[in-house]
């Protein structure tokens, strides 16, 4: 094991500890534009670390990606169902 593997693992564990409260908080809302790219990056980093033989870093990055995916699934704001709803909301704001 190389020392860099532990450094990257420590960074991933820190991310997991900081993100876990967001997953637990039922009122938290994280935009998909934040959570989906972060989830994808976690998986890409995990695969990259694994290909370099850095198993601990790979595990931490993959878990971070999974946590971001959970946040995307459970804590993203609802997506508007139609364009007409968006147009109505803009008109309402303009008429105020």
> 67-83: per-residue pLDDT in tens?
999 999 999 887 765 66
Domain extent for 19: 3-95
Number of separate domains in the chain = 1
Burial of 67 (0-12, 13-18, 19+ CB in 10 A): buried
Tens digits of residue pLDDT in 20-66: 999 899 899 999 999 999 999 999 999 999 999 999 999 999 999 99
Q: How far apart are CA 46 and CA 94, in angstroms?
A: 46
């Amino acid at each position: 094991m190389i020392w860099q593997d532990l450094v990257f693992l420590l960074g991933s564990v820190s991310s997991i500890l900081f993100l876990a409260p967001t997953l637990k908080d039922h009122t938290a809302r994280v935009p998909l534009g934040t959570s989906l790219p972060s989830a994808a990056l976690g998986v890409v980093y995990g695969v990259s670390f694994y290909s370099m033989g850095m198993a601990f870093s790979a595990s931490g990055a993959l878990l971070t990606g999974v946590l971001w995916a959970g946040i995307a699934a459970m804590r993203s704001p609802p997506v508007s169902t139609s364009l007409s709803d968006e147009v109505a909301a803009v008109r309402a704001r303009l008429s105020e």
